[in-house]
Structure 1
Amino acid sequence: MSTAAGVRQHSARDLQAYGRRYGIDYRVPALASREEEPVVRGEVRELSLGQGMELVASDVEVLHRYDSHSHAPSPLSIVVMLEGCADVSLEGRTLTLTPGMALSLRLDARHGLRATQPAGQRLRALTLSLSETRLAELGPAQPGHDGSRMHAWRPPSSLLQGLEQALTTPLPAPAQRLLFEGLGLQLAAFGLPQDTLDDANASRLPPREQRRLERVRAALEDDPAAEHSLSALAELAAMSPASLRRKFRAAFGMSVFDYLRDCRLGLAHDYLSRGFSVQQAAHFCGYRHATNFATAFRRRYGVPPSSLTNAT
């Protein structure tokens, strides 16, 4: 994937070249034999912040769904989703990254992160990677960190605003590097292993509770347009509403109703892609007001729902 100024389209071949540098396998299901066709269109910047810190900033339109599977170990990587969404999974645990979320990752050589980026969205994301040496400088070594770990969390709004401003403010290269280095250190401060990745290990629930939570998740996915209540879902899980709120977030990285919203928007995306109107899609996926639906859809996918109907 080229980062040269003016290069706006990235093909499956470009993704593969990028993946060889970073230890990631890319797959574009719709373009199995057309490696030169664009997969994403936009800008990807790779910034070396020095002292074992690397930053990749992406602002692209996803033209075709693509999947990725990392196979290189990483002491600590932090992904921040600013716009759009991605489904990620690691060692059987799956969650959806949505705007304003961050994901802290420690990856070994055996278990890599799998991710899927849906088509028809604007995707703006940052990935900060720290070397083992740099990580050791930032904090004491933590015992028991063998294996891969991931933890979803929400950076403070002030940090998200700082990242947004850094991405949109033109600065000379040395000043930009210093600005991103400072923001990268703030991200690392919130995403260091002792603060986050241990929590991910602690959030692994007993199999019986995990199965109960899976029943709730299945109910949301099977009928996202229904009027789901927390009390009814808690009864389905044989838990109190407070326990369901806490354990669902621990298991899936988001609240029950954030998950329901994502299910509804995914269903709406499917309706729009099949030619239904914005009003119809909003109604069929459980939204009473098309304006609220349009706002939520744009926040997740980075484009208005009307852009899909105009494309059909």
Structure 2
Amino acid sequence: MGNEQELVRVGELARRLGSPVRLAEQGPDQRPLFQGRLSWQQLRSGLSLHCSDCIELHDFSTQVEVSPRLSLVLFMHGDGQAQYDDRRLQVAPRPGRPEGLAIALTEPATFTRQAHAGQHIRKLSICLTPEWFESGGFDAHAGIRRLIEPSQHLALHRWTPTAPLLALAEGVMQQDAGSDLLSHLQQEVRVLGLVHGVIEQLAGEPARPLRQRPHQQRLVQRTLELLHSGEADGWSLEQIAAAVGASASTLQRQFQAAQGMSVFAWQRQRKLQQAHAALQGGTSISEAAWQAGYSSTANFTTAFRRQFGVTPQRVQKFY
């Protein structure tokens, strides 16, 4: 998806988004709007992929006319303020808690999005047109038909970013949109895997995510509160489990089911989020690495880039 330091300018938006774009504010075509990675890829007829992993450089809003489609969106980082015609959309994923959303459009609509200077956006969007469903005969499926029938125009559906879906999404985000056949096929396979998992949830067959009972939900909530407090920093899994009243195996299983990742993977993401905020406040890279639990700035930089799509140096330089 390009170099992480790449500047995306006004005149390049249509190519990057796959559609003509209107910018509400007037300005020269060479004015940079984003820094990072922004791409659009047509994988096959009726199936396209849009990936964003960038920092917004100004306050601005864009408008795009979109045709009927089912959009499957995974928000990983950043505050999503947008609307389709008059239907407002507000998404703000918390650290370690990506949000999945499906938006059904059964007639053309105007998509408007508000950007904010300094905000880091990380998300992917898969667009499936009615022609794509028809070409595979999928529109005859009762569960899918309920998602794309005319009465569903502007309907919003939540879906659960399970661990397997998140792994596929990370693979999609990290692969460059190469033009060679093998890269294209590899990306298409990942995207179709995401489509399968999400539509399986939305169409209701079967419900894969584990349904947690109230006491299991309370266990996960107690764990999250403990981790958020910072008191458990440096603790072993057994110590954390004892503090919330569970065995280590039970805690790991229930936490993985609810959060889509292990306890320590969640902890790593939380510490990297704190390091990101510290860098914005002027903290040095070595200090931020230490706060995040890394003795090596090189290892910290690798983990930071994997999480946010930009290096600590880039965040520090921008702020």
TM-score of the two chains, using structure 2 as the length reference:
0.60
Which structure 1 residue ranges, 5 or more long, are not aligned? Answer: 1-5, 23-32, 110-115
Check whether the contact 1:226–1:286 (CA below 8 A) recurs between aligned residues: no
Q: Give per-residue Cα distances to partners, 1:177-227, cap 9 Å, x unaligned.
A: 888666644543454416997576743423343232122112222217821
2:50 to 48, 56, 65: 56
Moved more, 266-275 or 222-231: 222-231
Q: Residues 156 and 77 of structure 1: is their aligned pair in 2 closer, same or farther, counting only changes over 3 Å? A: closer
User: Identity, % of aligned pairs?
Assistant: 24
1:169 aligns to 2:179 (yes or no): yes
Q: Which residue of 1 aligns with 2:229?
A: 222
Give the aligned length.
274
2:77 to 77, 81, 86: 86
Matched to 2:34, the amino acid is V
Q: Give per-residue Cα distances to partners, 1:119-153, cap 9 Å, x unaligned.
A: 47585x54212246644736544399897231224
Check whether the contact 1:142–1:194 (CA below 8 A) recurs between aligned residues: no
Distance 2:252 2:117 in 1: 27
Q: Which residue of 2 aligns with 1:297?
A: 304
Matched to 1:142, the amino acid is G
Q: Residues 65 and 275 of structure 1: is their aligned pair in 2 closer, same or farther, counting only changes over 3 Å? A: farther
Q: Which residue of 2 aligns with 1:30?
A: none
Q: Which residue of 2 aligns with 1:25?
A: none
Which structure 2 residue ranges, 5 or more long, are not aligned? Answer: 1-5, 81-88, 106-114, 148-154
Q: Residues 234 and 252 of structure 1: is their aligned pair in 2 closer, same or farther, counting only changes over 3 Å? A: same
Distance 2:237 2:307 in 1: 23
Distance 1:230 1:244 in 2: 9
Q: Which residue of 1 aligns with 2:271?
A: 264
Secondary structure, aligned partner of 1:265:
helix
Q: Which residue of 2 aligns with 1:142?
A: 143
Distance 1:240 1:179 in 2: 40
Distance 2:225 2:77 in 1: 19
Check whether the contact 1:42–1:61 (CA below 8 A) recurs between aligned residues: yes
Q: Residues 182 and 223 of structure 1: is their aligned pair in 2 closer, same or farther, counting only changes over 3 Å? A: closer
CA RMSD between the two structures: 5.3
TM-score of the two chains, using structure 1 as the length reference:
0.61
Post-superposition offset of 1:8: 2.0
Check whether the contact 1:95–1:253 (CA below 8 A) recurs between aligned residues: no
2:126 to 114, 128, 134: 128
Q: Which residue of 1 aligns with 2:35?
A: 41
Post-superposition offset of 1:48: 5.0
1:151 to 160, 163, 171: 160
